[in-house]
Structure 1
Amino acid sequence: MQNPYTAKNPFMSMWLSAANSSAGMMRGAWTAEMHRQQQEFVQNWIKMSMQFWMPMLNPPRDRK
């Protein structure tokens, strides 16, 4: 006799497949947004560091 608790349930399988698909889409959207925010942070950091260090690299010009 087969155990009814270990038998495959087609409705549960369909529900879990739909839930996994939805979770995959949400995970993809979340990862893409995280990547965009990281890129923006790095670009801002590079810009700010260049603004801070570049004036120090240029020697002051002589005034005449």
Structure 2
Amino acid sequence: MAELNPDRLSVFNYAHLPTLFAAQRKIKDADLPTAEQKLDILQETIGSLTDAGYQFIGMDHFAPPG
């Protein structure tokens, strides 16, 4: 993603809400990542984007310096 050089990036966690979205009812809870796995994914994302020069500016937002 960083190669595209966007002005800002928002990285959101998947919200599994099968009671609201019928299509999500096909996804088994057992197939979803655990809280620990989600944290690992977020940490990898933060590392990759900060290594690419982006600043972590909030809960799930990144921007290039300046």
| Common fold: TM-score over 0.5 | no
Greater length-normalized contact order (CA 8 Å, ≥ 6 residues apart): 2
Select the structure that is richer in helix: 1
How does the TM-score come out when normalised to structure 2?
Answer: 0.34
User: TM-score, with normalisation over the residues of structure 1?
Assistant: 0.35
> Which has more strand, going by share of residues?
2
Larger radius of gyration: 1
